[in-house]
Amino acid sequence: MIAAPRLRRFRLSQDDRRNLRTALPFIAPWVIGFLAFTVYPIVYSLYLSFTHYSGFGDATAAGLDNYQHLIKDPLFWQSLSNTLYYTALAVPIGVVVAIVLALLMNQNVREVAIYRAAFYLPTIIPLFALTFIFIVLLNPGFGLVDYVLGLFHIPAVNWLGDARWTKISIVLLAQLGAGGPALIFLAGLRAVPTELYESALIDGAGPLRRFYKITLPLISPVILFDLIYGTILGIQIFTPAFVLTGGTSGGGAYTAGPENSLLFYVYYLYKNAFQYSDMGYASAMAWVLFVISVVLAVAIMRWSKYWVHYEVT
Amino acid sequence: MAVAPQISEAPPLAIARQPTPRPWRRLSVPKTLGVRIGLIVASVLFLAPLYWMANSALKNIDELSAFPPTLYPHAPAFDNFVRAVTYIPFGTFLLNSVILTTGVAIGAAISNPLIAYGFSRIKWPGRDFVFGIVLATIFLPFPVLIVALFDIFAKLHWIDTFLPIIVPAFFGNPFFIFLMRQFFLGLPNEISEQARIDGANEFQVFLRIIMPLAKPAVAVVIIFAAVQAWGEFLTPLLFLQDESKYPLSIGLQFYRQEHDVAYNLLMAASTLIVLPVVALFLAFQRFFIEGITVGAVKG
């Protein structure tokens, strides 16, 4: 009888129950996929993170070994700092580039469809192919980029061979993806009611003031989404680093770019799991990544309360 | 097409059209000029990598290694393309890429409309909460799952088959579910009600009434899924180990390492991989642009 009040609260009307039965077959694929390919792997890797496991045979209990090893592993810390450094550069720059492109496209230019296409096209080009192109563009011997910089008397940079520049190169590569967010910002800009600008103009507000007081607050929800999503993508950075350093090739085995400057978090996780067959350790890294992503997303959400403006259109 | 809030071509700011006071008029000409220059410079920067890929693909190795680099191929070496596809097992990689892309696109086309329908056209208790979970999975980094997924697929004997890449596509993708749901929410309820009164069950309403209207939205999903699968790198890297199973993304990568492929051939092979994507974009540009801005205005 103790359960009675609880039951009542969850009692559904006949309509509700019928609708639930009707909807279930439709959403069943997602529910099954979510349980099988998301929930179960997360739980399973939590278990694996407390074991020693090579991928073959049985996992053996390891207690907190993997986590203790993480704290003492200099490569873990380097991969984490490489990743945060990359994300801290690529994401804010990406937001600014996307907003600038959107603002430019939002001006009264008739051939805007051409620019829209030009900015968007690189976002659908496979990332591995763009990375191959960057190898040619940034080549220290015959690369176009160093040549163009030379025209402006800027000294050549060994983009992919100098540990100080490798991550910058990937930050630049990532900016080719700005076209997608730029289109979303553009849609946001076009939804801003023109009356707001008109009355601001009457009040004598200059263009900068109008931008800060009207445009920016009204597109702030899009900025928030772009920041969080960009950050989540940023901490997963892998493909360009893997393509550039070729996994195992190059003189020094198992180095990820000069001075391991491209050893990003997921790259190191990948190496541990699939090159060193240390699935337990890699699982601990996966779980730490999970926690980092949640912490970053929540932190950005909290911070956004100070600047996101929600009563839009 | 009603998939997305329209991006209208009309000038967005009324002020741009207003008769402007004198000091403004003098500024207005250079203003759009400056904007245009900015847009053109930015467009050149964004398209330069693709141009440089095609340019490098057509150079012979001497011209490619020359400094300063030539801005167009002086002696176009069209046979680079022939050499690129014969130097590597291009046909095998291509076939694998086509199978993977087709499989993922079919899975996306079937699963996402079905799931989105359940999250939009039927009102059931807890729907919005569960949909919140769907959206939250967008923010879960996929690499968190790779170790466990590999072990799960290994136990299923799915490694070195296309199943780990194709099968999950049949269980929906949060972005595509969102996109289809936005479309379904925009359709009036009356059309479903009428069919229900006529005795159709929910699946018949979905298949006969709603899906015919949803073709443009399904096309957007298919296009996005195909482009994504075509360029996919991490999952084939993890789950395919036998060279005969590699798609182009992985095949090209490992071939480059092992055989030290010349850059002009690498660029020629890359051009062949990029070409279908560019063609698809030029053919269905509107679908791409409207797909990406779905729900953007809702803020």
Pick the more confident residue, A23 or A210: A23
Instruction: Say whether pLDDT at B291 is over 90.
Output: no
* B38, pLDDT greater than 80: yes
Among the residue ranges A48-52, B92-96, B256-260, the one predicted with the least confidence is: B256-260
Q: Are residues A25 and A127 in the same domain?
A: no
Q: What pLDDT is recorded for position B11?
A: 39
What is the share, in percent, of chain A residues with pLDDT greater than 90?
A: 75
Q: How confident is the model at residue A6 (pLDDT cuts 50, 70, 90)?
A: low
Name the residue type at position B175. Answer: F
User: Same structural domain for residues A25 and A143?
Assistant: no
Give the pLDDT of residue B296: 47
Domain range enclosing A12: 4-66
Lowest mean pLDDT among A160-174, A245-259, A271-285, B277-291: A245-259
According to CATH, what is the number of the domain B88-261?
1.10.3720.10
Give the A window 177-216 contacts with B, CB below 8 Å. 179-180, 183-184, 186-192, 194, 197-198, 201
> What is the domain partition of chain B in residue ranges?
27-79, 88-261
Q: How many CB pairs under 8 A join A and B?
A: 314
Q: How many structural domains compose chain A?
A: 2
The last residue of one of the domains, among A23, A47, A66, is A66
Q: Which of A41, A66, A91 is the last residue of a domain?
A: A66
Chain B, residues 212-231, CB within 8 A of chain A, namely 227, 230-231
- Identify the residue with better confidence: B289 or A25: A25
Q: Residue A87: inside a domain, yes or no? A: yes
Distance from A20 to chain B by nearest Cα, in Å?
5
End-to-end C-alpha distance for chain A, whole angstroms: 51
* Residue B247 near residue B236, CB atoms below 8 Å: yes
Tell me how crowded residue A38 is: count the other CB atoms within 10 A of its CB: 19
Residue B7: per-residue pLDDT: 39
Checking if the pLDDT of A2 tops 60, the result is no
> What confidence tier does A169 reach under pLDDT thresholds 50, 70, 90?
very high
Highest mean pLDDT among A29-33, A59-63, B30-34: A29-33
Tens-digit pLDDT profile for residues A103-156: 999 988 889 999 999 999 999 999 999 999 999 999 988 999 999 999 999 998
Cβ atoms of A118 and B43 closer than 8 Å: yes
**Residue B115 Cα, gap to closest chain A Cα (Å):** 5
pLDDT(B20) > 50: no
Q: Which residues on chain A are in Cβ contact (under 8 Å) with B118?
A: 23-27, 30
Q: Give the confidence band of B299 by pLDDT, cuts at 50, 70, 90.
A: very low
What is the predicted pLDDT for the residue at B3? 42
Of the candidates B177, B188, B192, which has an alpha carbon nearest to the alpha carbon of residue A26? B177
Q: How confident is the model at residue B9 (pLDDT cuts 50, 70, 90)?
A: very low
DSSP 8-state code for residue B19: P
What local confidence, expressed as pLDDT, does residue A57 receive?
87
Residue A257 is predicted with a pLDDT of 87
State how far the Cα of A131 lies from the Cα of B244, in Å rounded to an integer: 24
- Yes or no, beta carbons of B231 and A128 under 8 Å apart: yes
- CB-CB neighbors (< 8 A) of A226 in chain B: none
pLDDT at residue A184 tops 50 = yes
In this structure, the answer to whether residues A93 and A191 fall within a common structural domain is: yes
> Is residue A310 a part of any domain in this protein?
no
For B114, which of A29, A218, A293 is closest by C-beta distance?
A29
Q: What is the ipTM of this complex?
A: 0.91
Nearest to B134 by CA among B149, B113, B122, B119: B119
Note whether residue A309 is domain-resident: no
Cα of B60 to nearest chain A Cα, Å: 13
Indicate the pTM of the whole model.
0.90
Q: What is the DSSP string of A9-20?
A: HH---HHHHHHH
User: Are both A115 and A60 inside the same structural domain?
Assistant: no
Same domain, A61 and A114: no
The arithmetic mean of pLDDT across residues A19-30, rounded, is 96
Q: Confirm whether A80 is domain-assigned.
A: yes
What local confidence, expressed as pLDDT, does residue B87 receive? 85
